Structure 1
Amino acid sequence: METLEFQTEARQLLNLMIHSIYSNKDTFLRELVSNSSDALDKLRLEAFRDKDLDVDVSDPHIDLVPDPVARTLVIRDNGVGMSRDEVVGLIGTIARSGTAEFLRKMKEAQDSSQQELIGQFGIGFYSTFMVADRVVMVTRRAGHDKGVRWESTGEGSYTIEEVDDAPQGTSVTLHLKPADEEDQLPDYTSAAKLTEIVKKYSDFITWPVRLVEPAPAKPVAEDAAEGEGAAEGEGAEAPAAPEPRVLNSGKALWARSSSEVSKEEYAEFYRHVSHDWNDPLETIRLQAEGTFEYQALLFLPSRAPMDLFMRDHKRGVQLYVKRVFIMDDCEELMPEYLRFVKGVVDAQDLSLNVSREILQQDRQIQLMRRRLVKKVLSTIKTMLNDRPEDYAVFWRELGTALKEGLLSDVDNRDAILAVCSFDSTEDAEKKTTLAQYVERMKDGQEHVYYMTGDSRTAVENSPHLEALRAKGYEVLIMTDPIDEMWVDSVPGFDGRTFQSVAKGQVDLESEEEKAAAAERVADFAELTSWMAGLLSEQVKEVRLTSRLTTSPACVVGDEHDLTPTLEKMYRAMGQELPPVKRILELNPEHPLVSGLRTAFAEREDRESLTGTVELLHGMALLAEGGELGDPSRFVRLLAENLQRGL
């Protein structure tokens, strides 16, 4: 026997588990039953893959064995079991990147909200210490000769030893704390209580969950009573044999008709496959018939997973073949941008020993994937049209991930665009879809105007919007980092092209205004040429603009230039880029610009105007949230100009 220490974070977690208050301690049984179900799934899979594996798969089951006298509860299965290394690795440590985040949220959470965190981080086994003073686990890996006995009181260490007579599978014995009404700890040796929990949380489990309790004792037969034991009394009773009673329906939820399944059952099944303790936002059922048959039960979450944007985020749905579990997180069935979708796909004709390499090349898998993606997107569109409140929740939590599909899924780009929504200058309180934007477009408007930026406030205060607002044009406000990338790849929506108000030329003038603008360009030609030479290290061109009404100047990019934000993103990822020179645009109606033109025409010493030109360029950079090349020089020039003004 060895005594080992828990990993540091595991000790912290156990301490919180044992000493924190939870509104629903029943969750421990749901987690253990789910673990046993997974073990049985994996055993069936290994038996299919390895025909020489010496295992018994004739009677897969999960048993609950309460003992009111000893105050113990045993949860046992005849699944795949664990080896010694797996026990140490899975039980003695918490090898997940989200552990620190879990601990932080656990400490911050209050009372009833804490129980929602169980399951989100794969820590179901540790929940046993909410109800038990001591936990003993005996397990034997399928195909191994010897088993392992693990024991702990949850105080920071555990013992582990090899045993010879362990049956295949895993048995977890909980030495329960005393039932305490004040602490809301039920009697988990009660058959009624165990039945209630299984019906509530695990009725959908494919494998039978059995309650094993002694049958009523029976009198010993008269001929047996005549023997040696009869002397102790005529009424001697024979020991009763255990009588297993199946508690769950055991029918795969996706195989039952929708009329047979309640909303609560869907919710519990979602929690089982997603380890999310919130109810799903939407349930999606799909049944394909014909030459290739399969069933799918998918869910959209009501809250974004904590690791949605982490590099090691697991994605995909569970894959079954003829009700036999094949793999978790089947990435081939769901694209990266729909990584938040959880659920089950049960096919009829795939090989039971499929590998990921085979899946990537399987034509049927690709057909299933296309159908599933279209179903998910059509469901989101229905939600948008029929249940705008639920759609608002979906978009707030998951919209950023969905927009990644605009880059990666060209075939479904139009369908994705149709369910996207954005902030807009039309209404600060509501988002708008592209279809709604198009309905409100002005007569003769050819483009969908947009601007990207770090925040709504930064975009709304940008000088680039001045002329469009003055003329009543609506502008979409895009503030997600992914927006910087997809708008340059997507040509347009419903026949209208996307046009950035911060790039290229924005044509807002009438024919008369264009004629007047041409005259102004000629009047300012000498000044703009001189300024372009003076600022040649910073800008590629200086020109007049009609996009400004109150600001003296702004900087814009050429139509195909990287935006400053996108340039920063690439540099942050370690990609070296050549400096991108931008265009300085001047508002000829602004007193500062017209005054600069007059001074330029009247003065022989034009070098005295260089400071004003640099200030004008610096102000334009700051107005859009850019960075100054030489902040100290800008401050010095500003101070000198203010001093002269005084």
Structure 2
Amino acid sequence: MASSVETMEFQAETRQLLRLVIHSIYSNKDIFLRELISNASDALDKLRLESLTDSGLSGLDTSDLHIALEVDKEARTLTVRDNGIGMSRDDLVELIGTIAKSGTADLLAKIKDSQDAATAENLIGQFGVGFYSAFMVADTVTVRTRRAGTDSGTQWESDGEGAYTLRPVEDLPVGTSVTLHLKPVDSEDGLADYLSESKIRQIVKQYSDFIRWPIRMAAERTDAEGATTREVDTLNSMKALWARPRAEVAESEYHEFYQQISHDWQPPAETIHMRAEGTFEYEALLFVPSQAPFDLFSRETRGGVQLYVKRVFIMDDCEALMPDYLRFVKGVVDAHDLSLNVSREILQHDRQIRGVRRRLVKKVLGAVKDMQAKDAERYAKVWAQFGRALKEGLIEDPDNTETLLELVSAASTHDPEKTTTLREYVERMKDGQDAIYYLTGETRAMVENSPHMEAFTAKGYEVLILTDPVDEVWVDRVPAFDGHRFQSIAKGQVDLGGSTEGDEEKDAEKARHEQDFAALLPWLTTALSEQVKEVRLSSRLTTSAACIVGDAHDVTPTLEKMYRAMGQELPPVKRILELNPAHPLITALRTAHEADANDPALAETAELVYGSALLAEGGELPDPARFTRLLTERLTRAL
């Protein structure tokens, strides 16, 4: 065997790429250790597999496969060592000596076209060159390795600038050691003390805690008498619950893990443990909390679950895996076939990740639906905590509209103590009723006391009471449930049809009212033209004098406020004033108008009727001071 050292030059484009990797690509330098530990874990996996399939390796001892971290503070070196499959000389040249050999030029061109380091870092993730992140913290990197089944090893060494050296080494154990000759600590460059035991432990805990192989490190311990000893500690827990069959995991273990990732000391309402096999393999362990976090509806709140690749932590709050309306779901997804350096931008455009997201969403919604069917009390608690967020899905996720509608639980006039599902509402609908009636408002009391409710209450029609801000939006976006359209009782004309005795008499009465009020209605429309677009007789009032309604497709006042609060100005929407022709105040107004249509008091009365109707629905008066003055004067004259 030749004993001379070989010096090999990097290609020009590879040198440029190396400089980018070392000096400007990675924003978080801690990940170098994640990358090296992950490579070591892969080597151990390969040795375990090949020892089972290659008869030439059958005698190899695989009883204590592990990763060792070794610190030499005097020499300022950190070594990551494994007793895995190892590499031959040719492996070194192919896997390490040539960076992304199949796409270096393409990668370099894309990086040059990018405008910032963050974009460049995203591109790096597509080409698997994470090993070279070691040069961010090291002046020189030395790799010593021997492949299983061979008699001699090889040393690879480089300063990451223009060349690397290769030389044969005798008497190496099977496996690989990567030694980093560390740069000085520099807070300005983000170079921490990577010889510090606490720093190493922190990185391993954050990124590599669930690696299946033990990660060991010798640490100094001082006893009570001042004597110093060295003990070997295992730094990682290796407890990747998601990789174990559900039957082998105790509920207490699930709860402990949930507390660890969520910092919520209440047990979760639901645990979802799943494994997907096939062209894209992954495991997922998801939790539906039992209590909403205080910041669930804060703009700064980020949703998403943790992403791992082969048990290596990649990122918190991976939004590409979970839609915003399920931001309360906690847990992990461990993918088998993604790059360790995968970025948020890449994930958002990855077809496989989009497929995983679809399956995760269906699994979560399916779990909540099963809860609804099997444990109504637990479901009611979950809906009370997260229903408002789930209803956002009716706006954001058209693919799951039907499932989400089945989950909707709302207050209604049917039972003041309980909520109802849409399915239960439909089962109670009256013969001939084709719409699901609802009314939105700020509080249940305000909705129940609304004048719009009067005819529905009198005729026994059930009305959904919707008081969440999101209700104003989704009921307009969702066309129907089970073939029944959603109908606001505060919009359009109300037809509580159905043929009943006395219809001819009612029709005659309606015609008589229209004739009696033929002169008043256009006059009122003109008098209140700045506030309303029409004044008409009402079929929805039984006790109140008047109410305000919108046309079928008008934006509601509450939704208008929401848009304005978000900085989106809408053109003013004029609504319709409806009058109860049987109310004494309205009949008196008609009589006064017939007596003297020019009486100034009539216009003031019209203002008071409109203002009272606006207040009755919880609206805001355009001129509260004027309304109060007019009302006070009328009350004074009445006394």
- Measured against the shorter chain, the TM-score band is 0.5 to 0.7
Q: Kindly indicate whether the alpha-carbon contact (under 8 Å) linking 1:622 and 1:628 is maintained by their aligned counterparts in 2.
A: yes
Within a 5 Å distance, the mapping from 1:11-50 to structure 2 comes to 43-45=33-35
Which amino acid in structure 2 is aligned with residue 532 of structure 1?
Answer: T
CA distance in 2 between counterparts of 1:163 and 1:368 reads: 36
Q: Kindly indicate whether the alpha-carbon contact (under 8 Å) linking 2:432 and 2:498 is maintained by their aligned counterparts in 1.
A: no
Is residue 183 of structure 2 the alignment partner of residue 145 of structure 1?
A: yes
Q: Kindly indicate whether the alpha-carbon contact (under 8 Å) linking 2:67 and 2:216 is maintained by their aligned counterparts in 1.
A: no
User: Which is higher, the Rg of structure 1 or of structure 2?
Assistant: 2
CA distance in 1 between counterparts of 2:605 and 2:70 reads: 81
Within a 5 Å distance, the mapping from 1:358-369 to structure 2 comes to 358-369=346-357
Q: Kindly indicate whether the alpha-carbon contact (under 8 Å) linking 2:201 and 2:235 is maintained by their aligned counterparts in 1.
A: no
CA distance in 2 between counterparts of 1:625 and 1:323 reads: 54
CA distance in 2 between counterparts of 1:309 and 1:625 reads: 24
Select 2:414's aligned residue among 426, 434, 442.
426
Per-residue Cα deviation, 1:208-231 (whole angstroms, up to 9, x for no partner): 48798999x9xxxxxxxxxxxxxx
- Per the alignment, residue 67 of structure 2 pairs with 59
Mark the CA change 1:309 to 1:447 in structure 2 (over 3 Å): closer, same or farther: same
Mark the CA change 1:359 to 1:510 in structure 2 (over 3 Å): closer, same or farther: closer
- Per the alignment, residue 9 of structure 2 pairs with none
- Per the alignment, residue 372 of structure 1 pairs with 360
Per-residue Cα deviation, 1:1-57 (whole angstroms, up to 9, x for no partner): xxxxxxxxxxxxxxxxxxxxxxxxxxxxxxxxxxxxx999873247779xxxxxxx9
CA distance in 2 between counterparts of 1:164 and 1:341 reads: 36
Select 2:326's aligned residue among 334, 338, 345.
338
Within a 5 Å distance, the mapping from 1:431-470 to structure 2 comes to 431-470=419-458
CA distance in 2 between counterparts of 1:259 and 1:78 reads: 39
CA distance in 2 between counterparts of 1:392 and 1:556 reads: 33
CA distance in 2 between counterparts of 1:627 and 1:40 reads: 56
Which amino acid in structure 2 is aligned with residue 416 of structure 1?
Answer: L
- SS in structure 2 at match of 1:292: coil
- SS in structure 2 at match of 1:451: strand
- Per the alignment, residue 578 of structure 2 pairs with 585
- Per the alignment, residue 542 of structure 1 pairs with 535
CA distance in 2 between counterparts of 1:289 and 1:611 reads: 74
- SS in structure 1 at match of 2:285: strand
Instruction: Quote the offset at 1:165 in angstroms.
Output: 9.2
- Per the alignment, residue 629 of structure 1 pairs with 622
Q: Kindly indicate whether the alpha-carbon contact (under 8 Å) linking 1:424 and 1:432 is maintained by their aligned counterparts in 2.
A: yes
Instruction: Quote the offset at 1:204 in angstroms.
Output: 6.9
Which amino acid in structure 2 is aligned with residue 365 of structure 1?
Answer: I
- Per the alignment, residue 610 of structure 2 pairs with 617
Per-residue Cα deviation, 1:341-368 (whole angstroms, up to 9, x for no partner): 1111112222333222221221111111
CA distance in 2 between counterparts of 1:577 and 1:240 reads: 74
- SS in structure 1 at match of 2:199: strand
Q: Kindly indicate whether the alpha-carbon contact (under 8 Å) linking 2:437 and 2:462 is maintained by their aligned counterparts in 1.
A: yes
Is residue 445 of structure 2 the alignment partner of residue 407 of structure 1?
A: no
- SS in structure 1 at match of 2:462: coil
Unaligned runs of 5+ in 1: 1-37, 50-56, 64-76, 80-139, 150-161, 174-197, 218-238
Mark the CA change 1:166 to 1:249 in structure 2 (over 3 Å): closer, same or farther: closer
- SS in structure 1 at match of 2:383: helix
CA distance in 1 between counterparts of 2:496 and 2:489 reads: 11
Q: Kindly indicate whether the alpha-carbon contact (under 8 Å) linking 1:147 and 1:166 is maintained by their aligned counterparts in 2.
A: no
Q: Kindly indicate whether the alpha-carbon contact (under 8 Å) linking 1:319 and 1:328 is maintained by their aligned counterparts in 2.
A: yes
Report the aligned-residue RMSD.
Answer: 3.5
- SS in structure 2 at match of 1:588: coil
Is residue 267 of structure 2 the alignment partner of residue 279 of structure 1?
A: yes
- Per the alignment, residue 172 of structure 2 pairs with none
CA distance in 2 between counterparts of 1:266 and 1:327 reads: 21
CA distance in 1 between counterparts of 2:376 and 2:596 reads: 63
- SS in structure 1 at match of 2:417: coil
Select 1:320's aligned residue among 305, 308, 324.
308
Mark the CA change 1:567 to 1:61 in structure 2 (over 3 Å): closer, same or farther: farther
CA distance in 1 between counterparts of 2:546 and 2:419 reads: 30
Is residue 384 of structure 2 the alignment partner of residue 391 of structure 1?
A: no
Greater Cα shift, 349-358 or 428-437:
349-358
State the identity as a percent. Answer: 59
Q: Kindly indicate whether the alpha-carbon contact (under 8 Å) linking 1:61 and 1:207 is maintained by their aligned counterparts in 2.
A: no
- SS in structure 2 at match of 1:448: strand
- Per the alignment, residue 520 of structure 2 pairs with 527
Per-residue Cα deviation, 1:144-179 (whole angstroms, up to 9, x for no partner): 523489xxxxxxxxxxxx998935761689xxxxxx
- Per the alignment, residue 166 of structure 1 pairs with 195
Select 1:261's aligned residue among 239, 249, 264.
249
Mark the CA change 1:643 to 1:251 in structure 2 (over 3 Å): closer, same or farther: closer
Per-residue Cα deviation, 1:416-440 (whole angstroms, up to 9, x for no partner): 1111111111112111111111111
Within a 5 Å distance, the mapping from 1:35-184 to structure 2 comes to 43-45=33-35, 59=67, 142-143=137-138, 144-147=182-185, 166-167=195-196, 170=199
- Per the alignment, residue 288 of structure 2 pairs with 300
The alignment's TM-score, normalised by the length of structure 1, stands at 0.66
CA distance in 1 between counterparts of 2:37 and 2:212 reads: 17
Unaligned runs of 5+ in 2: 1-27, 40-64, 72-77, 81-134, 139-181
Select 2:560's aligned residue among 539, 564, 567.
567
Instruction: Quote the offset at 1:442 in angstroms.
Output: 1.1
Mark the CA change 1:549 to 1:207 in structure 2 (over 3 Å): closer, same or farther: farther
Mark the CA change 1:62 to 1:339 in structure 2 (over 3 Å): closer, same or farther: farther
Greater Cα shift, 509-518 or 347-356:
509-518
Q: Kindly indicate whether the alpha-carbon contact (under 8 Å) linking 1:146 and 1:165 is maintained by their aligned counterparts in 2.
A: no
Is residue 584 of structure 2 the alignment partner of residue 594 of structure 1?
A: no
CA distance in 2 between counterparts of 1:165 and 1:600 reads: 90
Kindly tell me the number of residue pairs found equivalent between the two proteins: 469
Q: Kindly indicate whether the alpha-carbon contact (under 8 Å) linking 2:531 and 2:574 is maintained by their aligned counterparts in 1.
A: yes
Instruction: Quote the offset at 1:474 in angstroms.
Output: 0.9
Q: Kindly indicate whether the alpha-carbon contact (under 8 Å) linking 2:185 and 2:193 is maintained by their aligned counterparts in 1.
A: yes
CA distance in 1 between counterparts of 2:137 and 2:387 reads: 44
